[in-house]
Structures are given as structure tokens and as C-alpha cells.
A = this chain, B = another copy of it.
Amino acid sequence: MTKQLKPSNPSRRHLLTGGAVALAAGGMAGISKSALAQAAASVVPAAAKPLPAYVAWKDPTAMIVHTSSTLETKRSAFGTSVITPAEQLYIRNNLPAPDASIIADRDAWEVQIEGVKNPRNFNLKQLKGMGLETTAMVLQCSGNGRGLFPTKASGTAWAVGAAGCVVWSGVPVRDVVAALGGVADGMVYMTGTGGEKIPEGLDPKSVMVERSVPLKAMGDALLAWEMNGAPIPLAHGGPLRLIVPGYAGVNNVKYIKRLAFTLAQTEAAIQKTGYRLSPPGQKGDPSHPAVWEMAAKSWINSPAPDAGVVPAGMSLIKGVAFGGMQALKAVEVSIDGGASWLAAKFVGPDLGRYAWRQFVLSVKLAPGNYTIASRAIDVLGNLQSEVSMENTGGYNNTSWRDHALKISVV
């Protein structure tokens, strides 16, 4: 697993271009270590915004605050213990979180189940007695990686940190549906409605969080009340959240107050025109694919995702990889920008097909410049794509090339 490897392309270009790391250094051949460190330090970030009050419990050293409703995990903050702790997990809320009073008595939260043979309400206390499943899952914002696309798309310029691997506990939706006589005849979608307050004066359809996913997604879906061993925090959708393993973040409806099996997709804008894979410059409409299932993806978190400067010698390249809907077969790492690939080693427990795996590759690096990348391969043989289809919303960026890191070994 340990190899002495040569730099991929010791030209200046790698240092001046590329998304995640761009060092404003000159020709690297004879540059001193201190000069490099200085160059790295000169990439001064804008003054960090403080954590919004409703997530003041997050770890400020781990988070990038884009806005009060969009917080990203720093690439350098991802740990290697598989699970992303709540304090480090990203936030992306389409509407402000409801008032904290809804978690004062969690068990009283009610959800209406419709589109089944015998529709009815359940409160959370009742749901807790109906079944239990625990699923580890990559929760990933549809726009994660948006900021790494070659062409700028509108929306938060997430790098890799609008994702985490979290454990959910709740009752399987299939158990709830079975208790109500099954899905009503002919239904095609599972539609979840969030409990956010609709700002006054607006057409609810224009802002409400209501998402439809194909009926088959019910198979592994949960009505979840727990995240990483604790009641789901308000900011992450507590007291009750719809969890649709393998589906992009937006489909995992927070504060779920209605779960309906429906003939058609919801008319809410977030479904009808939003979260659609429309060609660049074109507004989304129902003819464009919805952002649903996630695809195979991986990225490297270490070494030096921020500074880009690594000391020569042995180095452990570490990252995370997941298959979206499938378990992974392998992860490969390249240190020459994709010209050649080496098999990385999986590390740590396998938490199931919806979770991510950690990978590591030990390499001996000589001084020079490297483009290090990773690519995931799922059990069906699907390979993480080199290039992702650009789209107006900047969704579903799984390109290994966009996620590559430029590092300078000195």
C-alpha cells in the first residue's frame, strides 16, 4: 500500500487554478518551506460569521457560516470515526425552523398519514410503540459540491461540507402503512409536508417544504425521532423527520406533519420547479429530472485540504466514500490528477449501504505538486464520474475531478 510516487504535474497552473485550494505562489521548484507556508497563510479567509442563535450549540471551529440557514462543515474538520457528530453537521433550511415550543413536548407532535386504506393521525408517542429501525445514512444537501463546478451556479457555493454520515432511529414507514391497511390503490408517490411556518402574505405553494419521491423509496424510509443517539435537534428536523435513505437532503422532510401517498407529485414550487436538473440557464420544470437518488461519490479530507502544503515523506491520504443507493465495492486514489489509480483501504466499521466508508492510502511523497483525487466504485460496478453534468441549480456534483485537491509537498 505504501509507494514512493512522483509529482503529477509540477507546473504553476495547479497552484493558480482549481476550486478548493489555490496557492498564490510562484514557480515551485526551488521555493522554501517558509515561503510556501507564507503563501498558504496569505489566502486569508473573510472574517468568520458567528453561529446563528438557533444553532449556537454547533462547534464554531468546525463550521463555515454562509448564512443563518446555510452552514457547512469545514473539509479539515471531518473526522475519521465514520459518524458526523451533531455539532459538526451542516445546516440547510429552506424556511426558518419552527418555534422551539414544538420540542417542549416531543411525544405530542402529530403526523397525518394519508393515501392509505385507513388514514389517520399518530402522535410521536404512538409511533414509538409501532416499530423501530436504526439506519446510518449519508445526509447530503442536493447542492453539495456546487461551489466546485467549473461554472458558477446560483445558490450556496458548498464545497464538500454540506454532507455528513448520521444515524437515525424511528419507525419504518412501511410498518406504519401496514398498520393502516396498506397504500391506497394506484398511488405513485410518497409526499411529505414540513411543519415550518409559512411567512404571511406569501402563496404557501411558493415556499412550503413539500416533497414527493417515488413510492419505492418507502421501502427503507423512516419516521425518525432520534439522530446519533439523541432526540433530533430542532435545527435538524426534530421532533419528527422523514428519512429517505439514499435520497438527497431536501427529500428528508423536517418537522413532518403530513405523509401522503399520492397520485401525482406535489405542486409546491420546491418540487415543481425547484430541485430539478435543468440545463444551465434554463429554469426547472416537471420535464426535468427531480433531485432524488444520490450517486456514488467520494472526496479526500486529508492531508491539508485547507493549506495545501504537506511535508515530504510518508503521508496518509484519508477521505470518505459512499454509493448513494448502493454499497461500495472499492475506492481508488490518484495522486497524479487521474492518470493512474491506486486501491485505497477501507477503515472502520461498515454501517450499511447508505452510510459512508472511510478510506485511507499510505503514500510516500517526494517534493513537488500533486493533484490528489479519489473515486468510488459501487457493488454494481458504477464508477464515480469524472465530470458531472452542469445544471442551473448546481445539484448532484459527483465529479472526482472537481473534488480533487491540489497539494504542494515541500
Q: A residues engaging B (CB < 8 A)?
A: 59, 62, 78-88, 128-136, 167-169, 226-231, 313-316, 318, 347-352, 355, 358, 360, 362
CA distance A351 to B79 in the complex (A): 17
Whole-angstrom distance between the Cβ of A204 and the nearest chain B Cβ: 33
Contacts of A134 in B (CB 8 A): 80-82, 347-349, 358
Contacts of A78 in B (CB 8 A): 229
Q: B351 touching A349 by the CB < 8 A rule?
A: yes
Closest residue of chain B to A165, judged by CB? B229
A sample of 9 more A-B contacts (CB under 8 A), given A59-B230, A134-B358, is A62-B230, A80-B134, A81-B169, A81-B227, A82-B134, A131-B362, A132-B358, A133-B348, A136-B348
Whole-angstrom distance between the Cβ of A32 and the nearest chain B Cβ: 21
CA distance A134 to B169 in the complex (A): 22
Contacts of A229 in B (CB 8 A): 78-85, 88
CA distance A62 to B230 in the complex (A): 9
Whole-angstrom distance between the Cβ of A57 and the nearest chain B Cβ: 9
CA distance A84 to B229 in the complex (A): 6
CA distance A88 to B133 in the complex (A): 21
Whole-angstrom distance between the Cβ of A291 and the nearest chain B Cβ: 26
CA distance A317 to B54 in the complex (A): 34
CA distance A136 to B136 in the complex (A): 14
Q: B132 touching A360 by the CB < 8 A rule?
A: yes
Closest residue of chain B to A87, judged by CB? B230
Q: A348 touching B83 by the CB < 8 A rule?
A: no
Knowing A84-B229, A226-B79, A316-B128, say if A349 contacts B352 (CB, 8 Å). yes
CA distance A54 to B131 in the complex (A): 38
CA distance A214 to B16 in the complex (A): 54
CA distance A168 to B133 in the complex (A): 24
Contacts of A130 in B (CB 8 A): 314
Contacts of A79 in B (CB 8 A): 169, 226, 229-231
